[in-house]
Amino acid sequence: MPTLLDFIFDHIFAFTGVFIALYFALCAIYQLCFSPLCDIPGPWYAAISDFWLITHVLRLQQCRTINTLFALYGPVVRVGPNKVVFNDLFTARNVYSILKFDKSKYYKSLLTNDNDHAMTTLSHASHVFRKKGYAPHYTPTSLAQFQPEIVQSALELVNILDGIVKGNAINCLSFFRHLMVDIASVSSFGYRVGALNKWAIDAEDPLVTAIGDFPKRGILRSAVPVWAWKLVCSIPNRRWRQLCDSDKIMAEFVSARVYETRLQMVSGASEQSDRVALVQRLLRYYSGQSTDTASDRDVISEHMGHLVGACDTTSTTLSYLFWELSRRPNIAKNLQAELDAAIPDCKTFPDISVLQDLPYLTAFIKEGLRLYGAVPSLLERVVPCSSEKTTIPEAFDLMGFALPPGTIVGTQAWSMHRDPSVFPSPETFSPERWLETGGDDKGKLEAMNRHMMPFGKGSRVCGGQNLAQMVLRIATAAIARNFELLAPPETTEKSMEMRDSFVVFPASMACRLIFNARKNR
């Protein structure tokens, strides 16, 4: 006669299935009815699991999806069992600037060389320590030492474009990424690595490819478990393995530069220069903090973070700026008229201070950063305990909703920059909105400037934003002054539709444009 034990073994899978289903049902009921976040509006299925949001992350449409949720549910939306997003200026200032919440673990997917750098350091206190090492390098005074090489790179850009057969289209994403690698290498290591020259002769540069691959690698690592990531990286495809190894490729290049510089510093050779490259600053800073081995590792990781942060982002924004010029002749005409007056001789270039005082160029760059800032994604932070001495911490008041410690919160530049009450016709590219003409314009400009966060917000704002602003002005002035831009048939609204993987890029993964020399240059 069968025993109870025999019955259980015969139906073990059925029982297991029932228990699993019951467990998930109870979890769903808790999240929907009893969770501290249950009163926050949002899709019911998002409250049950992170899976829904992860699907949009993998589809590279998280920014657009969250912006749609704000339109449906209002300025506070629950997008996961433990994640709440907001679209509010006061709350953004509170979270990022005043209370300075620590970052979420999402940023660990962007580790370089299996080590932290400024972007992946979660706690505010630890970030302050790292920031002290590189912040002096990005002051306007320090960057001015590198302006001649940045201008030289821009003029080399012009010479390369002059050599292209009229009517031939080039992929701006790749072209400008090579430009940025040259500029970032000057700032970081004191010399240009010749990436533009390699592009001109159609030679692959592994470093440039690795920098372009790294953000995509990061989004995959953040969305899949460790075992799945290892499985993905074992796929026997050269291009796929190249993407998975992008971190290793960058690390090998940067390591060599760091060790070379350390030897030069020991011998005293590097002290002969009046300017100080970032690698020297970081080596000096970390040398007094830890052993040489740990010091070098931190310097290498920090440098890799700066290379990715500088190159892929600025090259994308430049590509979208010139795409806008190719399809908006009135804007191109206004910009070129201002540049013609400021740069009478296209073979010479004024100081950056001259470009910074050009109102239309400034408005053009600002509008580009509003719509095409390269990092418009969620800046995730974690609600802290109200006090380490309090055993029962108080909740954080987010626009009337009480959020317990550990809740992930964040906003995104994508939505802040598209608020129709601040930016009328928010999807329209219009530099004129930034030009003050009197009346109520001053108040409107102040409101727009407060909502701008293309480089982040608060204490964790991008350390290299001054370099990015300098390059955007110089590169835009050099190309707009010398060329008329056209979009070939394959470059369309659909091909240029933005996709996001923390940074943004066109849906077609390319921005092909035609650069024809201006007749009056």
Q: What's the pLDDT at 4?
A: 56
b/e 350-364 (16+ beta carbons within 10 angstroms → b): bebeebeebebbbbb
- The pLDDT mean for the chain works out to 88
Q: Residue 172: in which H helix or E strand, if any?
A: helix 172-189
Contact 217, 235 (CB under 8 A): no
Contact 479, 505 (CB under 8 A): no
The listed range with the strongest mean pLDDT (51-55, 111-115, 251-255, 267-271) is 251-255
Contact 303, 279 (CB under 8 A): yes
Long-range CB contact pairs, 104-107, < 8 A, 24+: 104/380, 104/381, 104/382, 104/408, 104/410, 106/222, 106/380, 107/380
Mean pLDDT of 265-271: 70
pLDDT-based confidence at 327, cuts 50/70/90?
Answer: very high
The listed range with the strongest mean pLDDT (10-19, 26-35, 205-214, 379-388) is 205-214
For residue 11, pLDDT over 90 is answered with no
For residue 329, pLDDT over 50 is answered with yes
Tell me which residue of 481, 512, 476, 516 sits closest to 175, measured CA to CA.
512
pLDDT-based confidence at 288, cuts 50/70/90?
Answer: low
Contact 265, 279 (CB under 8 A): no
pLDDT-based confidence at 387, cuts 50/70/90?
Answer: low
Where in the chain is CATH 1.10.630.10? Answer: 88-377+401-517
462 is in an annotated binding site: yes
Contact 86, 415 (CB under 8 A): no
Q: Higher confidence at residue 309 or residue 143?
A: 143
For residue 195, pLDDT over 80 is answered with yes
Question: Is 88-377+401-517 assigned to CATH 1.10.630.10?
Answer: yes
Q: What's the pLDDT at 293?
A: 47
Look at 110-119, 166-175, 183-192 and tell me which has the smallest mean pLDDT.
Answer: 110-119
For residue 56, pLDDT over 50 is answered with yes
pLDDT-based confidence at 429, cuts 50/70/90?
Answer: very high
Long-range CB contact pairs, 101-105, < 8 A, 24+: 101/381, 101/382, 101/383, 101/384, 101/409, 102/381, 102/382, 102/384, 103/380, 103/381, 103/382, 103/460, 104/380, 104/381, 104/382, 104/408, 104/410
The full DSSP string for 268-314 is TGGGGSSS--HHHHHHHHHHTTS-HHHHHHHHHHHHHHHHHHHHHHH
Q: Which amino acid is at 162?
A: D
For residue 390, pLDDT over 50 is answered with no
Contact 85, 106 (CB under 8 A): no
CA 386 to centroid of chain Cα atoms: 30
pLDDT of 60-72, one tens digit each?
Answer: 899 999 999 999 9
51: which 2 tokens?
A: 């899976």
Q: What's the pLDDT at 349?
A: 81
Q: What's the pLDDT at 415?
A: 96
% of the chain beyond a pLDDT of 70? 90
